[in-house]
Amino acid sequence: MPKNLIGAALAAFAIASPALADPATPEGAKATLDRYGAVIGQEAIDKGAIAVKPDGDSYIVTWTLDAIMPKPQRASDPLIKISPFSYRETPKGEGAFSWHTDSFPTISITDTTDEPGAMEIAGDLVLIDADFDPNAAEPMHVNADVGKFTVDFTLKRADSPVDYHATTTDQHVDAVAKIGAADGTVDVTLRNTAASGVQRLAATMDTAKGAEVDATLNEGARHAAITIQGLRSKAFGMIAAYVLAHKDETALDEDPQVADLIKAAIPFFDHVALTGDQSADKVVSAVAVGGFDKTELALETSGALPDDRARLHIALDKLTAASPLLPAWAASVFPLSFDLDWNVDFHGLDKAAALAVDAAAGGDGDAPLAALTERPAHMDAKASLRTPIIAIDATSQATLTPPPSGATHVTADGLDKLADLIKKIGLSPRDTQQYLAMLTAVGKIARKDADGHLAWDVQGAGQDVRVNGTPLSKLMH
């Protein structure tokens, strides 16, 4: 019996699996088909959605999803087609399996109404290998390489046709699941990289006026990763197994057993992190050129624990834009860089999650929010903005739950250049005078920090807000 359940489907494969290196047989093929049927239903098997045939010591599994895709019932219904795809499944004994394929299904969606359109998703030069061993310290591995992945979309409207094409090259995906530190948990890591990509959009916004867009986005290398620590795989496996066993029953969302199983899975996981970066993107069109050197994203959060923490980091390096349609002064704003790092500590999400499950079954709908506000939540953040005109830095700490309070420190350099820009924008004399007056007022209440930059310390507690020690109400008069 496996120590851990990655999911009901994989757990099902651990039952009555053939011994290591046994030759594949028609009986084994039927047993394999029956295992899939336990997951997707016998009706799908009867319609020919899956076929299994023995081949050496493996089984060739072929999916024909067109057999179970809904057929258009009305002229307005789209036609969805998925090409058959196969993979080799090899039993390794004691519930272990490996899978291999060099195919990827082509998916197409066609609309034949008075605004006909079509979309196709395809992969070429594909190689995918995976293995599962419920008794191993790392029960699952997946490695996938896709030489070229494409998405095509067309919309043939008479007055505004659209043509979109995207290609990603040399994409690699790998995933690993290993037994977690706590019983009934796994740690999962998923990584994705791509060497480059191209997206092209050609659209006519108004045929009568000749308004057309033809733009190409050239993408640099991309990296992304998801890590999940302490995923409650056994608890989720029990939920999936129960749902599969009762899938023909109605009102599962009102079944108290399902609610109890979901609450038993709390906190769902210990920690999850999503990270990614994209380099050297450039947009080229007849009317504009722009891009950036690099973007970064990081999103982290703990599970539904008594004490939780979340973090968001966004960075954009050297954004540029140039176009004859932009006013002359716009060029002085670029390149632009931005960085934000935001953190929050909060409490009681485990209790709130359980109460939310109860609320979905008819319980107190206000109880989850009340649980989250029983203890104060704290936030800290820092941000920066850089342009050739102005540089701004800010740090902030705050208590978010009522009564809110906090402090923010802001520094800036370049208010004189910003004033010059306001004069060049082309506003009305009245608006120009108004914005310059506001900028002057902001500068007057600033103090100089140790580096000579203008600085503002903003402190607030309830309705009392002060800037550099002076009540905001006085500064506004």
Q: What is the pLDDT of residues 69-117, one digit of tens each?
A: 888 887 778 889 999 999 999 999 988 999 999 989 999 999 877 678 8
pLDDT tier at 15, thresholds 50, 70, 90: very low
Cβ-based burial of 113 (10 A; exposed 0-12, middle 13-18, buried ≥19): exposed
Structural domain containing residue 432 = 389-477
In terms of average pLDDT, the best of 129-143, 205-219, 364-378 is 129-143
Nearest C-alpha neighbor of 319 from the set 355, 348, 290: 290
222 contacts: CB under 8 Å, gap ≥ 6: 192, 193, 194, 197, 276, 277, 278, 279
Mean pLDDT of 433-456: 91
Using CA atoms, how far apart are residues 104 and 95, in angstroms rounded to an integer?
Answer: 26
Alpha carbons 215 and 100: distance in angstroms, whole number:
38
> Which residues lie closer than 8 Å to 360 by C-beta, 6 or more apart?
253, 259
User: Quick check: 450 pLDDT over 90?
Assistant: no
Looking at the chain, the whole-number percentage of residues with pLDDT higher than 70 is 92
Q: What is the mean pLDDT of residues 323-333?
A: 90
Asked whether residue 477 is domain-assigned, the answer is yes
Is 466 within the bounds of a domain? yes
Residue-averaged pLDDT of the chain: 89
CA atoms within 13 A on the CB side of 3: 15
Residue 33, pLDDT score: 94
Lowest mean pLDDT among 5-19, 339-353, 422-436, 442-456: 5-19
Higher pLDDT, 161 or 198: 198
Checking if the pLDDT of 16 tops 50, the result is no
pLDDT at residue 4 tops 70? no
The per-residue pLDDT for range 358-393, each reduced to its tens digit, is 888 777 878 888 888 888 899 999 999 999 999 999
DSSP state letter for 34: H
What is residue 159's three-state secondary structure?
Answer: coil
Reported as a pLDDT band with limits 50, 70 and 90, residue 210 is low
- Looking at residue 476, its pLDDT comes to 66
Q: Is 417 within a domain?
A: yes
CB contact burial 84-109 (16+ within 10 A = b; e otherwise): ebbbbbbbbeebbbbbebeebbbbbe
In a domain, 416, yes or no: yes
* Residue found by looking up tokens 């982290």 in the block: 300
411-415, 424-428, 468-472: which is most confident: 411-415
Is the Cβ–Cβ distance between 61 and 86 less than 8 Å? yes
Residue 2 confidence class, pLDDT cut points 50, 70, 90? very low
Number of domains in the chain: 1
Question: Does the pLDDT of residue 284 top 80, yes or no?
Answer: yes
CA-based angle 459:464:466, to the nearest 5? 40
- Helix (H) or strand (E) run with residue 429 in it: helix 429-444
Instruction: Go through 375-393 and write b for each residue having 16 or more CB atoms within 10 A of its CB, e for each that does not.
Output: eebbbebebbbbbebbebb
In a domain, 356, yes or no: no
Q: What is the mean pLDDT of residues 418-438?
A: 92
| Residue that is written with structure tokens 């706590």 in the block | 182
Residue 105 belongs to some domain of the structure:
no
How much of the chain, in percent, has pLDDT values that exceed 90? 64
- Which residues neighbour 446 within 8 Å (Cβ) at sequence distance 6 or greater? 412, 454, 455, 456, 468
- What pLDDT sits at residue 9? 42
What one-letter code names the amino acid at 126?
Answer: V
Per-residue pLDDT at 203: 87
Q: How far does the chain reach from its first CA to its final CA, in angstroms?
A: 75
Query: Mean pLDDT across the stretch 209-227?
Result: 88
What pLDDT does residue 282 have? Answer: 94
The confidence band for 249, taking pLDDT boundaries of 50, 70 and 90, is low
Under a CB-based contact definition with an 8 Å cutoff, are residues 321 and 283 in contact? no
Tell me what pLDDT residue 222 has: 95
Q: Is residue 86 part of a domain?
A: no
Question: CB-based burial of residue 188 (10 Å sphere; 0-12 exposed, 13-18 middle, 19+ buried)?
Answer: buried
Residue 269 lies in a domain: no
Residue bearing the bigger pLDDT, 71 or 21: 71
- Amino acid identity of residue 46, one-letter, is D
pLDDT for 256: 85
Label residue 345 by pLDDT band (50, 70, 90).
Answer: very high
Strand blocks (E) in 414-474: 447-448, 454-461, 464-467, 470-471
